[in-house]
A and B are shown apart, each in its own frame.
Chain A
């Protein structure tokens, strides 16, 4: 059976620098794949290719076995590939429903020809999706500015889920969060997996990676340095893949 999302032989160069060099990977329904690696290893470039920010120089992307072309972030979204960036891309001056429907507001006609924003509909739909993910936010009408970091993350995730994300890419979801909020976000990731969503997660936190991921892909200097199932590997092995085996050997001598 074809994978939900599969990238084959992706290469991306910036001038003389090869940021991603012939990398292939896949992710399936209800699977969490962690993408780890040092700064500059090419993780961000790789997900920016999947989410339509960059165009690959070489390689193909398949969704359910069919090749797709992702030329812009909007293309990616229309294929059900949603990305949650570190900055979450929320309008802090607006409330929860307005953010979940940002740029895709529901409208209704009044007087037969004027389209007005249907706030009630947006509000009830927002509540439904938050309930589905078991996210608690005291008042939907409070501006994002007044929410905690974890609640903001939850709103950003709910937005993706509401718009039928099949693949969810999360860039450092727990960075800049308090310990208890980190835990909540990780629980949310687990519950998303149960609902059959494919998740690609970039993280520096080994604890996060080992607590939620099924599979780990290690990037180093633009190439895929290794791929391990979480149940078959250890933190030490992953770290050694990240920093490069030689240096580990040297240290052990």
Chain B
């Protein structure tokens, strides 16, 4: 009996209203391409993703918690904590005589494991002790900041194995002028010849995790339960969902992604410092909200969050290319964040 009509497509303005984010990205690209001729290129596209790796990862970190109706203020400093822990571990492993490769691998794995702890504590405070997420995660911000500062004593870690930088700034494969392809290592060419580098390693690294967790969020039971918790926590409890466990998992995933952002930072900039992600909280939350999620919880998808983060990444790299300073990014991110919420109120049902 149900006539399974397709989702209402609506009128053209509604369609635009619901997909304004894509339109906005196109406009941004057109704008920058007109202002700076060099902008519209494959290299710039790669650069946008390369520069934006941390924003992408932190946005996903924030998304998992925002879907449940919470907030994670600690992501930026958990990221900083991860940069400190991983860089210290790398240096220590090398000092113990391990090869750079194994040092980096071991340090990364251990960092990701340690990086689960802040999320575990956040989740426990929120789910079991019913501390408001804002307070619990702000406390964790303080704790991770303090521990990172104690570990570094105010001095950014240095002397990381050179391989870290090679991996962090390298690309998946290179095309030499003759058409020869080499994976992971830049071929030696004569002066004046350019080598085409394709897909930065860190972008692959980030998107492997992002795709995995997009799958978990979109396709698995656990993902649905997060939306249910954010939509109506009482209904979730009464329908037998293990709300406490799922909430803790959400905060752990948030912490995991913040740590991944930290690893990416260390590999790219070969240094670790407590405030590596200090000013990225705004961008992470902005990406999620621009991507259409509601702070009240229950909505938001990985795909749209990535679009939101892409807006920020394009702005950052674009403004740098046309020679505007950082301050413009702050202003525009702030303005777009507010506009996103207002536009979504005019055109509801953008999500799901």
Does chain A touch chain B in the assembled complex, meaning CB atoms less than 8 Å apart? yes
Residues of A within 8 A of B (CB): 73-74, 77, 85, 87-95, 98, 102-105, 107, 114-117, 127, 130-131, 134, 136-141, 143, 146
| B345 within 8 A of partner (CB) | no
Could you give, for residues 324-344 of chain B, a 1 whenever the CB lies within 8 Å of some chain A CB and a 0 otherwise? 000000000000000000000
Q: A103-B228, A107-B221, A116-B219 are in contact. Are A138 and B3 (CB under 8 A)?
A: yes
| A116–B4 CA distance with the chains assembled, in angstroms | 23
A85 vs B240: C-alpha distance when bound (angstroms): 15
Picked from A90, A93, A130, the residue with its CB within 8 Å of the CB of B352 is A93
Cα–Cα, bound, A154→B238 (Å): 18
Could you tell me the distance between the alpha carbons of A138 and B3 in the complex, rounded to whole angstroms?
A: 7
Interface string of B192-203 (1 = CB under 8 A from A): 000000000000
Q: Which among B227, B230, B236 is the interface contact of A103 at CB below 8 angstroms?
A: B236
Q: Which B residues touch A127, using CB under 8 A?
A: 2, 4
Cβ-closest chain B residue relative to A85:
B238
Number of A-B contacts (CB under 8 A): 94
Size range of the chain B interface in the assembly: 20 to 34
CB-CB < 8 A to A95: which residues of B? 352
Q: A91 with B220: in contact, given A127-B2, A139-B7 (CB under 8 Å)?
A: no
Instruction: Tell me if B225 is interfacial: C-beta within 8 Å of chain A.
Output: yes
Which among B230, B235, B299 has the highest number of chain A CB atoms within 10 Å? B235
Say whether B1 contacts A139, CB under 8 Å.
no
* Chain A residues within 8 Å of B349, by CB: 143, 146
- B interface residue numbers (CB < 8 A to A): 1-5, 7, 215, 219-221, 223-225, 227-228, 230-232, 234-236, 238-241, 297-299, 349, 352
**Complex-state Cα separation, A115 to B241, whole angstroms:** 17
- Contacting pair A138 B221 (CB below 8 A): no
Residue pair B239, A102 in contact (C-beta under 8 Å): yes
A117 to B220, CA, bound (A): 5
* Contact A104:B240 (CB < 8 A) given known A87-B234, A94-B228: yes
Q: Is the Cβ of B352 less than 8 Å from the Cβ of A138?
A: no
B232 contacts A92, C-beta separation under 8 Å = yes
Complex-state Cα separation, A131 to B221, whole angstroms: 26
Establish whether residues B221 and A117, one from each chain, have CB atoms under 8 Å apart when the complex forms.
Answer: yes
Contact of A89 among B3, B215, B232, B352 (CB under 8 A): B232
**Are A89's CB and B239's CB within 8 A?**
yes
> How many angstroms from the CA of A74 to the CA of B243 in the assembled complex?
14
Question: How many angstroms from the CA of A91 to the CA of B67 in the assembled complex?
Answer: 13
Contacts of B224 in A (CB 8 A): 94, 98, 102, 105, 117
A91 touching B227 in the complex, CB below 8 Å, given contacts A103-B239, A104-B240, A107-B221: yes
Closest residue of B by beta carbon distance from A146: B349
Contacts of B220 in A (CB 8 A): 107, 114-117
Report Cα–Cα, A20/B218, bound state, in Å.
Answer: 46
A105 to B225, CA, bound (A): 9
Q: Is the CB of B240 within 8 A of A89?
A: no
Bound CA span A139–B241, Å? 26
Pick the contact of B236: A91, A136, A138 (CB < 8 A).
Answer: A91
Cβ contact within 8 Å between A90 and B5: no
| 7 contacting pairs across A/B (C-beta < 8 A) | A89-B234, A89-B235, A93-B232, A98-B227, A104-B239, A138-B2, A146-B349
